[in-house]
Amino acid sequence: MTIDFELARTKMVDNQIRTTDVTSHPVLGAFLSVAREDFVPSDARALAYIDDDIRISDGQDGQATRYLMEPSPLAKLLQLADVKESDVVLEIGCGSGYVSALLSLLADSVVALESDETLAEAAGDKLSKLGYDNVAVVTGPLVDGYKPEAPYDVIFIGGAVEELPHGLFDQLRDGGRLVVVEGHGNASKANLYIRDGGNTSARRGFNTSVKALPGFEKAAEFEF
State pLDDT tens for residues 65-93: 999 999 999 999 999 999 999 999 999 99
| Domains, the chain | 5-207 (3.40.50.150)
**Among candidate residues 174, 144, 157, 166, the one with its CA nearest the CA of residue 211:** 157
pTM: 0.94
φ/ψ (deg, to 5) at 10: -65, -40
Q: What is the mean pLDDT of residues 212-218?
A: 90
d(CA 15, CA 22): 11
| Residue 220: per-residue pLDDT | 59
More confidently predicted of 2 and 206: 206
Burial 82-93 (b: 16+ CB within 10 A, else e): ebeeebbbbbbb
d(CA 16, CA 206): 16
d(CA 169, CA 145): 10
More confidently predicted of 187 and 104: 104
